[in-house]
Chain A
Amino acid sequence: MSDRDFALGGASRRQFIAALAAAGLSSTLPGAARAAVKIRRIDMHHHFLPQAYMLEEKERIHAEHGNSAMYSWTAEQAIDAMDKAGVDFAVASISTPGVWYGDVALGRRLSRQWNEAAAETVHKYPARFGFFAPVPLPDTEGSLKEIDYAYGSLKADGINFLSNYQGKWLGDPSFAPVMEELDRRNAIVYVHPTFSPCCSGPMVPGLVAPILEFPYDTTRTIVSLITSGTTTRFPHIRWIFSHGGGALAGVYGRIEHLEKMPAYRGKVPAGMHAELAKLYYDTASLSPDSTLPALLKIVPSSQILLGSDYPLAGPPPTDVMIKRAVEEFEAMKPSPRLRRAVERDNAIRLLPRIAKI
């Protein structure tokens, strides 16, 4: 990856955004849910909001980060938004608050409910969707059962975690049995940020918590996974993190040598950088003129996946959200190699089945 992979020109950020508004997508796929002949783009940060789950959990779901689409989501609308963006395939995941509310039976029921609803959508549109299955962590037994069910019966593409459960980040030793099982299965694990009990006190007035605290929590859980030795011990898990790893590239200078700290000696034999370079990161809320190039200075372009965060990426209208994500990326004129890698090839390397659809 070199600077030449981006044609940054001399344009300022403002000009860039103005140009975006004026430009349209060069190619969109007409027609609704038709199967893609050749996969052009794959959206790896894409939320399903199954309405049975959403309505049941309405009062638990933090309305503050949502929008009108939250309670009216349909697979058909998602497909329409994908078509508008020339996105042929999306792998769906759950967003915060997930399925865990401190009740084992409820957690198991909600994850099962969400996963079955997702599998139903995937079954209906097999050429358009896959899914990452949420599990009811911190309930180990329930999670192991759900992993088995998700892979065995529902043919999930991977497992879906939140960045912390009850304030424990993913490197916490209590999650090790689940990690061990996922390592055994060479699982893909998609990690989405959530609120964190560590940091839910009064925040900057008027700021919705997800704006800062979500990317912070993603970075915390990445550091937790590496410094605890989890990524070293379970090298077969393929981790995907939302939003470019959150604040990761910004704080890289503060974490790049943590392996040398006495507390972590021996736990990260390959070093922080080697571990970070193994993880995958989606492009949701990255700016292609600044933060994506920054991340690419730290990890190889093979680790970057297109992600839209549909239908929760900023303000409505939702139907152009995926299109916006793709346009932002492509307006920077990435080299053909980088564009293909991020938009499809890296995802297909993770999930070769997509290429065969």
Chain B
Amino acid sequence: MAARKAQKKAKSASRAKPPAGRIDLHHHFLPRRYMEEEQKRTQVMHGNTNMLGWTPEHSLEQMDKAGIAFAFASSSTPGVWYGDVELGRHLARQWNDSAAEVIRDHPTRFGLFAPIPLPDTEGSLREIDYAFGTLKADGIGLLANYEGKWLGDPSFAPVLEELNRRKSVIYVHPTFTPCCTNTVPGLAMQTLEFPFETTRTILSLITSGTTTRLKNLRWIFAHNGGATPMLIGRIEELDHRPIGKNFPAGMHAELRRFYYDTASAWNDGAMTALLSIVPSAHVVFGSDYPFLSAVEAAKKWSKVKLSRALRAEIDRENALKLFPRLRKLV
């Protein structure tokens, strides 16, 4: 109730009418308090000092220029888990509170995918309750692995079961993975290894039977599902192996239930593969701001050959179906 009042009060602070109707499902917040505290760690992982200067106003400016009416904020790698239960809970809460503050100021522009301190089950369950109950989050933001365990790992089952009970949206962003370091010299890990990692966790979720068992979860994967669409010919073979019993509907049917954002997939090759494998209703616009300029993202995206109807679906309508509350806002 208090949150709603605050929302009303803050409405005037938000820009009255956003310019156009795109909805950005892949948009990072880098809250200053979190970044300052984690500067050392995040710098080591990203090597991008620009990020430390992020403000909500930067986001809004880019969104206005890129025709983005509304963006769902998520945390990027390295997230909130550094092997310390207390720290993980503290960082998750801090990030979520900071993001919620921004959202209170701009309720017609931002939504929230709340990070939780996995692999800490108890802390995660508490944060889920807080994020949905108090902060009115739109979904939960997960990374592709925690300590090298992909999301189908049985240790995450209690958290996923709770999210399934809540019919949650889960946004999955890639991160570094302990299995696979020392890759091509000079090449940033994000370039190839992030999309590879997203595909690993997708396969972990399917082959472990998690997606078959927890049918109410609505999964969104970053970057076109990583390498997934291009590897359909190989991964479909798993239907015929013993592990196929864990997903009786088949690999392809499971892949079709997920949602995929367009970040980095703004070329005809990647979109051809994705759209021939999953329903167009499951593809949503994503910019990957501020790691990429939202303006650049929108420009590249506008060059992909798509029908006007399909573009409208991906830019906006599919997200509205996923988050009906937005209909009144954007």
Interface residues of A (CB under 8 A from B): 8, 13-14, 167, 169, 171-172, 197-208, 211-212, 214-216, 219-220, 223-224, 227, 243-244, 246-256, 258, 263-264, 285-287, 289-291, 293-295, 297-298, 314-315
Contact yes or no, A294 B180, CB < 8 A: no
**Which residue on B lies nearest to A264, using beta carbons?**
B186
What is the bound-complex CA distance between A252 and B243, given in angstroms?
30
The minimal Cβ–Cβ distance linking B223 to chain A, given in whole angstroms, is 8
The contact of B237 among A246, A251, A314, by CB within 8 Å, is: A314
Q: Judge if B295 is at the interface, Cβ distance under 8 Å.
A: no
Known contacts A201-B148, A220-B183, A243-B234; is-contact A253 B229 (Cβ 8 Å): no
- B145 closest partner in A (C-beta): A204
Contact with A along B253-269 (1 / 0, CB 8 A): 00000000000111111
B-side residues, CB < 8 A to A, are 148, 150, 152, 178-187, 190-192, 194-196, 199-200, 203-204, 207-208, 223-224, 226-235, 237-238, 240-241, 243, 252, 264-270, 272-273, 276-277, 300
With a CB–CB cut-off of 8 A, which chain A residues contact B269? 249-250, 252, 294-295, 297-298
Asked whether A291 and B229 contact (CB < 8 A) given A220-B192, A249-B273, A254-B195, the answer is yes
In the complex, A220 Cα to B227 Cα: how many Å?
A: 12
Q: Are the CB atoms of B227 and A253 closer together than 8 Å?
A: no
Knowing A198-B181, A247-B196, A252-B270, the reply to whether A285 touches B234 (Cβ < 8 A) is yes
B207–A253 CB distance below 8 A: no
Contact between B237 and A294 (Cβ–Cβ < 8 Å)?
no
Known: A244-B230, A250-B231, A254-B190. 14 other contacts (CB 8 A): A204-B152, A207-B207, A212-B196, A212-B234, A216-B227, A247-B230, A251-B191, A251-B264, A253-B265, A254-B191, A254-B195, A255-B191, A291-B229, A294-B269
Complex Cα spacing A256 to B199, Å: 20
| In the complex, residue of chain A having the shortest beta-carbon distance to the beta carbon of B205 | A204
Residues of A close to B186: CB separation below 8 A: 227, 263-264
| Chain A residues within 8 Å of B150, by CB | 204
> Given A215-B230, A216-B227, A285-B233: A298 and B207 within 8 A (CB)?
no
Among A198, A227, A247, A315, max chain B CB count under 10 A is at: A247
Contact A255 B192 (CB under 8 A): yes
- Interchain CA distance A298-B270 in the complex, whole Å: 9
Closest to B229 in A: A250
- Contact present for B208 and A205 (CB under 8 Å): yes
Closest beta carbon of chain B to A290's beta carbon, Å = 4
Question: Which B residues are in CB contact (< 8 Å) with A206?
Answer: 207-208, 243
Decide if B182 touches A167 in the complex (CB within 8 Å).
yes
| Contact residue among B152, B181, B200, B208 (Cβ-Cβ distance under 8 Å from A212) | B200
B230 contacts A294, CB within 8 Å? yes
**Mind listing 19 A-B residue pairs with CB under 8 Å?**
A8-B276, A169-B184, A171-B184, A198-B183, A201-B148, A204-B204, A211-B231, A220-B183, A244-B230, A246-B231, A247-B195, A249-B273, A250-B269, A250-B270, A251-B270, A291-B229, A297-B267, A298-B267, A314-B240
Q: Nearest CB to that of B275 among chain A residues?
A: A290
> Given A207-B203, A244-B230: A216 and B196 within 8 A (CB)?
yes
